[in-house]
Amino acid sequence: MKHTTPTTLPPTGDLGGSSKGEPTDNRASDGPAADRRVARHPASRRTPRPGWLLAIVLTGQLMAVLDVFIVNIAAPTVRADLHASGAGLQLVIAGYTISYAVLLITGARLGALIGHRRMFLTGLAVFTGASLACGLAATTGQLIAFRFVQGAGAALMLPQVLSLIQRTFTGGSRARALGAYSAVLASGAAGGQILGGLLVEADLFGSGWRPVFLVNVPIGLALLALGPRLLHDPADAPRPRGEGAAVRRSGLDLPGLVLLAAAVLLFTVPLVLGQERGWPLWCWVTLGLSAALVALFAAYETRLARRGGAPLISPRVARAPGIPRAVIRIALAMAANAGFLFAMTLHVQGGLGHSPLRTGLTFVPTAVAFGVVGLNWQRLPARWHAATVPGGFLLAAASFAGAGLALRDGTDGGPWLLVALTASGAGLSFAYSPLLTRTLATVRRQDAADASGVLVTAAQLGLLTGVAVFGAVFLGAADDTVPSAGASADALWVTCVALAGAALCGALMSLVRRVGHLR
């Protein structure tokens, strides 16, 4: 069977101390009565605890990222136990990703309207409940339905992570928090495969694949118990008279929501199902319709903003300096990450015949390198920071080519593969973490929710695109009639060359920008 690889598209010195880094809430007051209402509100008396906030939101993010990769490793066991068809198993794996990608922007906007803390806890509750339901599912249909609900919970929860970091940290502490965010994003990918392999092979109490979902339940319950006391968001304070009514009148921009959800759905479904179905005509038609709906959505949002409405994505954010380029490069970095993990997983587990656990352990150097760079790149001299992103893409390109060469003879690659995997993690982290930090640093505080939603969605769509494009390259180059290590190694080499080319494109975008500045 063909896997659908997920995403899966970052310590702080003052994280646990004072609240000096927390932005002030600039809402207007309607007089002493409003001041008294705010003073009585518990949120206004709660002492912000940035370190606890970061630990809670990043643990929630880690669960959501782990869940995709864990299920990928457990897929063969799920199929055997539930007698799932190929299409049914695809939907078990991809249903989470589809609903997640479709609802991400909506989750970001709901956080801005209702409060990021409230929406994070709501999404966490939905995700935890759906995880329990997945672990107890008796049929393939039930598991598919609960996976869609799980993805919806993640979509409500995860956009709030970046928004809460933006609202809570400033300066160097924000850069370190965003480095931790990037590190968690990458470690979740490899960690999911490792944990999935451990749980499936352990077969706890004869439960087979079910612990890969049930492991979320105790963690989620602990976060739900701690979150209401330890999370703080200035948006949770009651709005003065007039402002709350204005926010309610602005609504959720339902026409924009429908247009964007339809565009993302038409984009993700063919990417998820196209390879398995042989890329029939309907896949290309839906991709074309998706592009048309994106154009219609952009036109509608621009018109709504000109009329004084509240668009789902503010055109001001979409046109902010650096945002369009950052969206492309973040999507490119995550596509390369997902494509590399996908092809390597198929080769190591299929071509070389290694166990799920050993396959997962293969990616430990990548995850460790990504995490170390994500947490420490800002310690480099400031004059080097401008070179981190293009340098990261170049290092990633070299590492992809190196991994392909190390495995090209059909062996396990030896120490050279270890070097290449470590370099790939470091390169992708240099390409992603500084880019995310610098882009968000240019966004105004009131636009944090929109910017977070756009960048997270770009990362997720990049991950899906990477699996579809580079997965098609690998599977097209592989000789399915001869399932040998040599044939798989040849296919991996072709894929690694394509991945290196994609990474070089990311580096060239910096060169184009510099030429533009010189002119």
Residues 279, 324 within the same domain: no
Q: What is the structure's pLDDT at 518?
A: 42
Q: Which amino acid is at 485?
A: A
Residues 287, 338 within the same domain: no
Q: What is the DSSP letter of 443?
A: S
Integer Cα distance of 31 and 234 in angstroms: 19
pTM of structure: 0.73
Kindly state whether residue 429 falls inside one of the protein's structural domains: yes
Q: What is the structure's pLDDT at 483?
A: 56
Q: What is the structure's pLDDT at 235?
A: 53
Integer Cα distance of 410 and 20 in angstroms: 56
Integer Cα distance of 270 and 512 in angstroms: 32
Residues 394, 304 within the same domain: no
Kindly state whether residue 15 falls inside one of the protein's structural domains: no
**Which tokens sit at 374?**
């994500």
Go through 324-336 and write b for each residue having 16 or more CB atoms within 10 A of its CB, e for each that does not: eebbebbbbbbbb
Residues 457, 387 within the same domain: yes
Q: Which amino acid is at 327?
A: V
Kindly state whether residue 474 falls inside one of the protein's structural domains: yes
Kindly state whether residue 30 falls inside one of the protein's structural domains: no
* The length of the chain, given as a count of residues: 519
Kindly state whether residue 174 falls inside one of the protein's structural domains: yes
Kindly state whether residue 6 falls inside one of the protein's structural domains: no
Question: pLDDT band at 181, cuts 50/70/90?
Answer: confident
Q: Which amino acid is at 190?
A: A
Q: What is the structure's pLDDT at 4?
A: 44
Integer Cα distance of 264 and 297 in angstroms: 11
Residues 335, 445 within the same domain: yes
Residue 27 contacts residue 480 (beta carbons within 8 Å) = no
Residue 493 contacts residue 474 (beta carbons within 8 Å) = no
Integer Cα distance of 293 and 295 in angstroms: 5
Start-to-end CA span in the chain (Å): 52
CATH of the domain at 101: 1.20.1250.20
Question: pLDDT band at 41, cuts 50/70/90?
Answer: very low
Question: pLDDT band at 497, cuts 50/70/90?
Answer: very high
Residues 258, 282 within the same domain: yes
Kindly state whether residue 505 falls inside one of the protein's structural domains: yes
Residues 336, 469 within the same domain: yes
Stretch 82-101: mean pLDDT: 78
Residues 78, 51 within the same domain: yes
**Which tokens sit at 493?**
């080499």
Over residues 350-395, the pLDDT tens digits come to 788 887 778 778 888 888 888 788 878 888 888 888 889 999 999 9
Residues 64, 204 within the same domain: yes
In this predicted structure, which of 151-160, 423-432, 474-483 has the lowest mean pLDDT?
474-483
Over residues 97-138, the pLDDT tens digits come to 778 877 887 887 788 788 888 999 999 999 999 999 999 999
Question: pLDDT band at 15, cuts 50/70/90?
Answer: very low
Task: Out of 243, 278, 311, pick the residue that ends a domain.
Answer: 311
In this predicted structure, which of 89-93, 185-189, 324-328 has the lowest mean pLDDT?
185-189
Of 142, 125, 112, the C-alpha closest to 63 is 125
Check the CA dihedral 498-499-501-505 and report its sign: positive
Residue 400 contacts residue 340 (beta carbons within 8 Å) = yes
Kindly state whether residue 438 falls inside one of the protein's structural domains: yes
Most confident of 115-124, 172-181, 229-238, 370-379: 115-124
Q: What is the structure's pLDDT at 183?
A: 75
Task: Out of 261, 292, 311, pick the residue that ends a domain.
Answer: 311
Stretch 31-46: mean pLDDT: 43
User: How many domains does the chain fold into?
Assistant: 3
Residues 102, 150 within the same domain: yes
Question: pLDDT band at 236, cuts 50/70/90?
Answer: low
Residues 6+ apart with CB under 8 A from 361: 194, 197
DSSP state string for 194-260: HHHHHHHHHTGGG-TTTHHHHTHHHHHHHHHHHHHHH---GGGSPPPTTHHHHHHHHTT-HHHHHHH
Does residue 96 register a pLDDT over 90? no
How would you class 511 by CB atoms within 10 Å of its CB: exposed for 0-12, middle for 13-18, buried for 19 or more?
exposed
Q: What is the structure's pLDDT at 7?
A: 38
Q: What is the structure's pLDDT at 29?
A: 38
What residues make up the domain containing 297?
Answer: 253-311
Residues 282, 169 within the same domain: no
Does residue 237 register a pLDDT over 70? no
Residues 269, 346 within the same domain: no
Helix axes 171-202, 323-345, angle to 10 degrees: 20
Task: Out of 183, 200, 232, pick the residue that ends a domain.
Answer: 232
Residues 6+ apart with CB under 8 A from 59: 219, 223
Does residue 326 register a pLDDT over 50? yes
Does residue 494 register a pLDDT over 60? yes
Q: What is the structure's pLDDT at 20?
A: 36
